[in-house]
Amino acid sequence: MLPETQMHGHGVASVLLRAGFVATLLLGVGCYAEPVGTIPPPEYAYGYAPTYYDGYVVYYDDGGRPFYYVNGGVVWVPPTAPAYAGLVAHWHAHGPAYRDWHAHVGPTYRGYRFHGHR
């Protein structure tokens, strides 16, 4: 008869290897990776089509100042950015529709970066 550690491929080394693999799957590798295009980009909904800045969906405060999310934090689009005036104009043109879109689906896209959308 084989020793218990060699029976049916369930040796101590095999069990430890499997446990390590499962722990890696469950706990991850200890790194944070920003979600990049893991969901489809937002489309026209609730009368609004979102804009992008550096690939991120642009959100607006109540005064129409544009910002986006990176790693869970707010990043304001600088007023000196070439796109700033266009983003503010977008909010002025579509503010009511933006608020409806944001209330229903906007938070879904916080922090996601969609390459190809600038």
Which residues of the chain carry a pLDDT beneath 50? 2, 5-7, 13, 15-17, 19-37
* Count of CB atoms situated within 10 Å of the CB of 113: 19
Q: Which of 50, 52, 79, 46 is nearest to 63 (CA)?
A: 79
Q: What letter would DSSP give residue 5?
A: G
Query: pTM above 0.85?
Result: no
Strand partners, 56: 53, 113
What's the pLDDT score for residue 12?
53
What residues does each domain of the chain span?
Answer: 1-31, 33-118
Is 67 in contact with 52 (CB distance < 8 Å)? no
Is 24 in contact with 39 (CB distance < 8 Å)? no
63-94 pLDDT, tens digit each? 999 999 998 899 999 999 999 999 999 999 99
